Structure 1
């Protein structure tokens, strides 16, 4: 049973228009992914694309599938093309059944909105210099490191010396939880899953990469183009994340960004500020989508 809807508030998308958007979206995702299967065979999870597809639980087929989000009537379409929450009305026009989505997703919608809004409201901090990746291998044997097929540029002792020299201030739980036991006490913060809303801050690379996570988790309440925008930014952020890591990235054709040097740290902050601005714009779009949906629930 579909929810009642005021169709006068919906915009008609002719067949040629939505089909063009669908085709353009699929081509964009194919370009962003590149030949990820070949990269998987060669580099495993070390490739940027494979990491994003593994770390984030959203498959290529889901990423390629286009849907317009709420507010549209699709001409000459079938619901199956767009996902389980799309329905065909009596006149054959297809739309998103927003009521059905909200009935199933209310709790997660409220949680995501709270996280996005609280992160956006917090003051940015630009002084972490990517030390989270270094803390994940701090005083650990090479065979035990997370990316153990990649050697450490400075060796184990040189890597530990950089961590000892620079302050470790990681606010993101999903990075902190991978710190070595020796590194965790060095962190100025001790984030947990329960305190994520209190710690995520808008200059954090991982929090900004996670904007992609919240975008696809809000689907189908957000259009696929917005999810693609978030994926593209996440890919750029992950590239910097690896470049600023302690690993020798020669085998995956990445030049290191040497955050152990003053020049490297300054360059890191320049990238970080750019990502802060771009992720902030995307985060605000998602906050707006959440508030629009919550408004329909009377919240």
Structure 2
């Protein structure tokens, strides 16, 4: 069960429930239910970080070394992945919810767009929203760098993957931001950022919203808490997306296809980013110096034919005059 604490909003508003912080892990014992930080991801001691051991256990530790922690009881000698579980990342989702999502939308068809990867080795990122749609969570594990990139490449929503070396975990994410402020050094983890081979320019329309009733087709789900760049990246990796609508205050992001200026309206809360797809121009073919030769030959043949006919008739005329 998720333990919740109540707090009052400033100004006398209604009480709001928020996840309770988790006490520090007591060495030598597997964390009990109240010491499991997989749900809240919040440690009571700010010097502690919530580290994952496996899919069923995480604890608040000052640091974490991947592998077996021999200060635990022998029965708990299973390796720790030591993946840091930050608040608002890696949300815990029930297996039934994962299975339902996978049945409704099996994302295993690659996009027609061609991609390359930017590798951020020995680093991790705090940006991006996890794509939790796998009915078998263990399928995230036991990957190589190549299979992790392939896993992200097969999902048209994925724009980056976070790879953990110790257990081969490959986590797909969307709306990743490539800004340096979101990256930090992390031994044993790497981030692979998917980038289209054909880069797109963007037209930024500030204080503008999209009138969906005028046409635009929405694409995918609404994302919350993402940056403007992360929002644009969700459109970058989509072959159908033409624009995104982003709300800076909340980080709300929505993709659309069939976007036109006629569908825009003034709205101080939102910004619209139009993808400017470069026009493919017909290649310029330089005239060949030999391309007129066939015509010259044909013209010469016709000229010779006419000359021959003229000489023939002239010869007949001369013979008739002599007789």
TM-score range, shorter chain: under 0.3
**More relative contact order, 1 or 2 (CA 8 Å, 6+ apart):** 1
TM-score, length-normalised on structure 2? Answer: 0.21
Larger radius of gyration: 2
User: Higher strand fraction: Structure 1 or Structure 2?
Assistant: 2
